[in-house]
């Protein structure tokens, strides 16, 4: 059997997240249907992560096994012709037999985009969260640095989170402005359910004066979800990059820069 590693991107607006659902349309279901049609056999794929309903992905890695003789180039072009316009295949390569998109993943990077304007932009509908309240991105960039390091993020995950271990490591958290867009970029070795959206919501509370600028260390220590900020909507969230042992974060960032 051949094991293929495939990288895709998608606009998550029309989907109930990545993972296959019984009662809602998910990206995995759509991808597997197209792939099974191409290979003429039922094929299941392993995704690198679960994304919430409405969340997007610029780089999402999956893998699947098949005895088909199809080439990587054939998979890319054939799948892009079969998939809807809101899902696209970026690349495909053969991987070792034991490669698993989820279990071999060593880290992820997310971006959250806020359209910070009093006026609506119809071209950002479903791809950014609009907030009219003026955002001090420099203040939030300073506050975001308190998330960096290894901490127990129990206060920054949904109360429905079923993970026994809520300790995660954040390697980077930056906040910057590009015109009317304020972009939150965070990377780490793993993320809990709604963790990024709650971290961003907490920073917005700091921006609005509902929490002091130095509040994050105390909230982390409290392990209490009620001490943190709100959960911001999903449409501004993007799974931006996925990291694996075969390629360093620095190499991945350089590859992204070379594509620009």
Q: Alpha-carbon distance 155 to 219, whole Å?
A: 7
Neighbours of 37 (CB within 10 A): 13
8 A C-beta contact, residue 18 and residue 49 = yes
Cα atoms in the Cβ-side hemisphere of radius 13 Å centred on 199: 31
Q: Alpha-carbon distance 158 to 170, whole Å?
A: 18
Q: Which residues, 6 or more positions from 187, have their beta carbon under 8 angstroms from its beta carbon?
A: 107, 108, 109, 110, 170, 171, 172, 173, 241, 249
DSSP helix, strand, coil percent of the chain (3-state; round to 5): 30, 30, 40
Q: Which two tokens stand for residue 182?
A: 């304020």
The answer to whether the Cα torsion of 221, 225, 226, 231 is positive or negative is positive
The pLDDT profile of the chain, 260 residues, written as one tens digit per residue, is 999 999 999 999 999 999 998 889 999 999 999 999 999 999 999 999 988 999 999 999 999 999 999 999 999 999 999 999 999 999 999 999 999 999 999 999 999 999 999 999 999 999 999 999 999 999 999 999 999 999 999 999 987 766 789 999 999 999 999 999 999 999 999 999 999 999 999 999 999 999 999 999 999 999 999 999 999 999 999 999 999 985 544 555 554 454 44
Domain annotation for the chain: domains and CATH numbers: 2-95 (3.30.70.580), 107-242 (3.30.70.660)
Could you list the active site residues?
A: 52
39: alpha, beta or left, given left = phi > 0 and alpha = psi -120 to 50? alpha
């Amino acid at each position: 059997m051949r094991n293929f590693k495939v990288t895709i991107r998608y606009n998550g607006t029309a989907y109930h997240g990545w993972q296959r659902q019984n009662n809602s349309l998910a990206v995995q279901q759509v991808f597997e249907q197209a792939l099974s049609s191409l290979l003429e056999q039922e094929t299941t794929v392993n995704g690198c992560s679960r994304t919430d309903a409405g969340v997007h992905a610029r780089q999402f890695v999956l893998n699947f096994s098949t005895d088909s003789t199809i080439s990587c180039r054939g998979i890319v072009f054939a799948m892009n012709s079969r998939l809807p316009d809101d899902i696209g295949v970026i690349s495909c390569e053969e991987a070792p037999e034991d490669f698993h998109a989820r279990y071999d993943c060593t880290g992820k990077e997310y971006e959250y985009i806020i359209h910070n304007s009093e006026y609506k932009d119809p071209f950002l509908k479903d791809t950014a969260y609009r907030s009219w309240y003026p955002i001090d991105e420099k203040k939030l960039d300073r506050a975001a640095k308190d998330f960096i390091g290894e901490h127990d993020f129990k206060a920054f995950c949904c109360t429905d989170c079923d993970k026994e271990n809520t300790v995660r490591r954040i390697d980077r958290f930056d906040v910057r402005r590009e015109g009317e867009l304020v972009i939150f970029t965070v990377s780490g070795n793993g993320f809990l359910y709604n963790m990024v959206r709650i971290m961003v919501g907490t920073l917005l509370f700091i921006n609005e004066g509902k929490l002091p600028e130095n509040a994050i260390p105390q909230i982390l220590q409290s392990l209490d979800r009620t001490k943190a900020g709100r959960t911001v909507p999903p449409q501004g969230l993007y799974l931006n990059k996925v990291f694996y042992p075969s390629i360093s974060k620095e190499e991945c960032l350089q590859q992204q820069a070379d594509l620009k």
